Amino acid sequence: MHRLSKRSVKSLLRSSTAARYRDVAAPISSSHFFYQSADADSKGRWYSVLTSGRCDVIESTKPFKTRNEPFLGCRFESTAAASDASDSPSEKFEYQAEVSRLMDLIVNSLYSNKEVFLRELISNASDALDKLRFLGVTEPELLKDAVDLDIRIQTDKENGIITITDSGIGMTRQELVDCLGTIAQSGTAKFLKALKDSKDAGADSNLIGQFGVGFYSAFLVSERVEVSTKSPKSDKQYVWVGEANSSTYTIREETDPAKQLPRGTRLTLYLKRDDKGYAHPERVEKLVKNYSQFVSFPIYTWQEKGFTKEVEVDEDPAEANKEGQDETAEKKKKTKKVVEKYWDWELTNETQPIWLRSPKEVSKEEYNEFYKNTFNEYLEPLASSHFTTEGEVEFRSVLFVPSVSGMGKDDMINPKTKNIRLYVKRVFISDDFDGELFPRYLSFIKGVVDSNDLPLNVSREILQESRIVRIMRKRLVRKAFEMIQGIALSENRDDYETFWENFGKHLKLGCIEDRENHKRIAPLLRFFSSQSENEMISLDEYVENMKPDQKDIYYIASDSVTSARNTPFLEKLLEKDLEVLFLVDPIDEVAVQNLKAFKEKNFIDISKEDLDLGDKNEDKEKEIKQEFGQTCDWIKKRLGDKVASVQISNRLSSSPCVLVSGKFGWSANMERLMKAQTVGDTSNLEFMRSRRVFEINPEHPIIRTLTEACRSTPDDEEALRAIDLLYDAALVSSGFTPENPAQLGGKIYEMMNFALAGKWGTVSEYQQQANQKPHIPETVEAEVVEPVEAGGQK
């Protein structure tokens, strides 16, 4: 049992009421054709039926050309006040559906954007032309009128009327009943079914769906729709009239000679009060260019134009008297430039769909020009890819890699870009996607995608759930990577440097979000390294330069190349001539951690504990631990919970100590980034901080001195303070932030004083001054002086 909405119930209750809607006051004729005045000059002057009287216009092209006696050669003048009533009898028919409910679904649920009504109606007109052209191959008599195959749109913004006329196949009276009387029944669907049943070769004809559900999108903006149609198979022209939310429609024969068509269909939309803005010529032109730019038939719109000419102006009497005094002066007629306006047809869809052509026939200059025109760019793209996918899903596409990133820097955060334009059978559907066709990290790719398998009324839900879209997305992503790989392998290295500068962060984001394409993303990454500080290298180049016995890829994360180059973690690796990648971008460390490995080589952070450089000597390590084990325990006791443990380091050569992160803890760089997060959660900071490991260099003189102090005087205050200072210094040199910078500064100043005093002064003098109490002068009575005003008076 179905539950009817309130709107549907009200519509059903009103369905039996006669005369529900008032007629539009003084409707004008909807024909866009011209008539020729009898007293016109030899060139002929043409007049639009939308004008209320005669107006002189320049010669314009006839809307339809005929071979013999021109059907439109002589027209009777009509006025804007002409009534649409006809003397011929009308018959009423019932819709073959529960109209109130179905129309409510179409208008309020099927379409989310009102402006698509024009796209749907133009698509229907294109189908009618396609069908006529197809049938004209076997039935040439259908084209006997020799009327041009085109679509013309005329508007009346004052009365809110839009007229769409095509010279297509038209419909007979019975076809009007079958196609427009039964909602959601498509004449094109029947046509294609007939072709398929007969196994005709034309079954692959690219027709969109004439007068199916798409026709009723006209009621999104119209309160009344008239369809005047003339089929070449019939001698009579019929007019279908329907109103929004009405359960009936009328069909009558057209008897007015001024409204006769040679062939085709004319739709007249009487717009609702709130939607009359769609009747502006500029808005119609914009909608045609946006949605129907690549329809295969020419679309003409009725536009106001103007040309500049010079006209004579009357002279000022005062100036004329002044000039009259000089009889010898030569008189010149004064003129001024004026713009004379007129109305004429203008071809709106001039751009041809480049993706329908073979890639071998399209030059690089044509691709670049198409890219600039379509996406309003001024620079040529770095690369392009033109391809056709067949098989399970068929679609055509042209993709481009821009030369520069967009003006906005939030493209990685906001995946809703206007870079991908989706077409269905050359009709524009949408460019507002949320990752359905391309993942967020590839949102910089621009292009067009034209599919024959998707429905015209594509919604966000259809895109999200469609299996076709999922297949399209996978193939589009693969083609995008092929384009980028082509730039990386090109002889011009500067092209990829330009690409990486603009879109490198996008690929690093792909390492985090798209695990399936890690093998495609990893070869495209670029980093600085300890052996290439001025020029970025790829991971392939790193692997080629690896030592024969090197098993892993080493990296260090820092805020700059300078900091990474001077970090103490590098000392042993530089001695062994092992290359280390410098991750200086904030996203680098997270991206590499998600990659985990490249060509079976694991990524190793040299700032983490348990670093294996492949030169372990267990006997030597055991001997060193026995010698310095007591020192490690002594330092750990002093530092307490600040570190997890104190160990002998195998990564230091010139520094006395270093503070490394736990194997699963945050590195110094990651800790810095986590602290800088605006809404970051620092609750885990204490736990990660407790996992630090303090490593000492047993070969350094400071560590040996402290070892002697540990053995002789472990409770010496100066030795313990030296451990504290050593920890703070390791904290800074390892990239961490000191917990108490002021206290660290005080310790450094104290050590500097001892060092300087021993060279240029005596320590005893400093200690004497430090221990000496400050001199406080005796209190004396002060004379109170009253204030005196300026001038010597109180």
Q: For residues 176, 177, 179 and 181, what is the CA-based torsion angle, rounded to 10 degrees?
A: 120
Cα separation, 91 vs 49, in Å, equals 28
Select from 535, 528, 544, 661 the least CA-distant residue to 588: 528
For residues 415 and 441, the answer to whether their CB atoms sit within 8 Å is no
**Cα separations (Å) of 440 from 343, 346, 511?**
46, 40, 12
Residues across the chain: 794
Residue 689 resides in a domain: yes
Is the pLDDT score of 325 beyond 60? no
pLDDT digits (tens, 9 = 90+) for 162-174: 999 999 988 988 8
Same domain for 373 and 240, yes or no, is no
CB atoms within 10 A of CB 781: 5
CA atoms lying within 13 Å on the CB side of residue 636:
17
Q: Which two tokens stand for residue 581?
A: 């990648």
157 or 314, greater pLDDT:
157
Query: Any idea which residue has 């001539």 for tokens?
Result: 577
- Which residues partner with 342 through β-bridges? 305
Same domain for 644 and 588, yes or no, is no
Mean pLDDT (whole number) for 157-182: 88
For residues 251 and 91, the answer to whether their CB atoms sit within 8 Å is yes
Q: For residues 623, 628, 629 and 632, what is the CA-based torsion angle, rounded to 10 degrees?
A: -150
Q: Write out the E strands in 322-371.
A: 335-347
Cα separation, 718 vs 725, in Å, equals 10
Residue 232 resides in a domain: yes
Write out the residue range of the structural domain in which residue 657 sits. 618-753
Which amino acid would we find at residue 584? V
**Which CATH number belongs to the domain containing residue 669 in this structure?**
1.20.120.790
**Which CATH number belongs to the domain containing residue 601 in this structure?**
3.40.50.11260
List the alpha helices (DSSP H) in 81-186: 99-105, 116-138, 173-180
Find out whether 177 is annotated in a ligand binding site: no
Find out whether 166 is annotated in a ligand binding site: yes
Same domain for 408 and 365, yes or no, is yes
Residue 650 resides in a domain: yes
Same domain for 564 and 670, yes or no, is no
Find out whether 694 is annotated in a ligand binding site: no
Cα separation, 424 vs 451, in Å, equals 5
First to last CA, the chain: 103
Q: Predicted confidence band at 161 (pLDDT cuts at 50, 70, 90)?
A: very high
Find out whether 93 is annotated in a ligand binding site: no
- Which residues partner with 603 through β-bridges? 553
Residue 211 zone, left/alpha/beta (φ > 0; ψ -120 to 50; rest):
left
For residues 651 and 716, the answer to whether their CB atoms sit within 8 Å is no
pLDDT at 138: 85
Residue 497 resides in a domain: no
pLDDT digits (tens, 9 = 90+) for 719-758: 998 999 999 999 999 988 888 888 888 888 888 887 787 6
Find out whether 571 is annotated in a ligand binding site: no
Q: Going by C-beta distance under 8 Å and a sequence separation of 6 or more, which residues neighbour residue 740?
A: none
Q: Pick from 465, 489, 513: which residue ends a domain? A: 489
Q: Predicted confidence band at 305 (pLDDT cuts at 50, 70, 90)?
A: confident
Find out whether 265 is annotated in a ligand binding site: yes
Select from 370, 417, 429 the least CA-distant residue to 398: 370
Residue 120 resides in a domain: yes
List the alpha helices (DSSP H) in 596-700: 618-639, 668-676, 685-689
pLDDT at 367: 93
Cα separation, 755 vs 669, in Å, equals 33
Q: For residues 102, 105, 110 and 112, what is the CA-based torsion angle, rounded to 10 degrees?
A: 150
Query: Any idea which residue has 């204490």 for tokens?
Result: 686
Residue 317 resides in a domain: no
Find out whether 407 is annotated in a ligand binding site: no
pTM of the full structure: 0.68
Same domain for 622 and 650, yes or no, is yes
Cα separation, 700 vs 698, in Å, equals 6
For residues 589 and 583, the answer to whether their CB atoms sit within 8 Å is yes
Mean pLDDT (whole number) for 210-233: 82
Residue 230 resides in a domain: yes
CB atoms within 10 A of CB 189: 16
Torsion over CA: 505, 507, 513, 519 (sign): negative
Q: Predicted confidence band at 615 (pLDDT cuts at 50, 70, 90)?
A: confident
Find out whether 264 is annotated in a ligand binding site: no
**Which CATH number belongs to the domain containing residue 477 in this structure?**
3.30.230.80
Same domain for 150 and 296, yes or no, is yes
For the chain, the domain total comes to 4
Cα separation, 524 vs 501, in Å, equals 13
The pair phi, psi for residue 12, each rounded to 5°, is: -65, -40
Q: Which of 17-31, 556-570, 597-611, 677-691 has the lowest average pLDDT?
A: 17-31
For residues 223 and 230, the answer to whether their CB atoms sit within 8 Å is no
Query: Any idea which residue has 């719109």 for tokens?
Result: 301
Find out whether 171 is annotated in a ligand binding site: yes
Same domain for 462 and 426, yes or no, is yes
Q: Pick from 543, 571, 605: which residue ends a domain? A: 605
CB atoms within 10 A of CB 734: 22
For residues 443 and 415, the answer to whether their CB atoms sit within 8 Å is yes
Same domain for 145 and 290, yes or no, is yes
Q: Pick from 471, 489, 507: which residue ends a domain? A: 489
Q: Predicted confidence band at 779 (pLDDT cuts at 50, 70, 90)?
A: very low
Candidate ranges 3-17, 351-365, 376-390, 422-436; pick with highest mean pLDDT:
376-390
Same domain for 592 and 629, yes or no, is no
**Cα separations (Å) of 791 from 753, 786, 788, 794?**
55, 15, 8, 9
Same domain for 584 and 633, yes or no, is no
Is the pLDDT score of 298 beyond 70? yes
Given strand 335-347, what is the order of strands in its sheet? 90-94, 248-253, 237-243, 222-230, 264-271, 161-166, 151-156, 299-312, 335-347
**Which CATH number belongs to the domain containing residue 140 in this structure?**
3.30.565.10
Same domain for 447 and 376, yes or no, is yes
Q: Predicted confidence band at 144 (pLDDT cuts at 50, 70, 90)?
A: confident
**In this structure, are strands 151-156 and 161-166 parallel, antiparallel, or unpaired?**
antiparallel
For residues 265 and 125, the answer to whether their CB atoms sit within 8 Å is yes
Residue 23 zone, left/alpha/beta (φ > 0; ψ -120 to 50; rest):
beta
Select from 93, 116, 291, 283 the least CA-distant residue to 213: 116
pLDDT digits (tens, 9 = 90+) for 522-546: 999 999 999 999 999 999 999 999 9
For residues 477 and 439, the answer to whether their CB atoms sit within 8 Å is yes
Same domain for 590 and 635, yes or no, is no
Find out whether 215 is annotated in a ligand binding site: yes
Residue 699 resides in a domain: yes
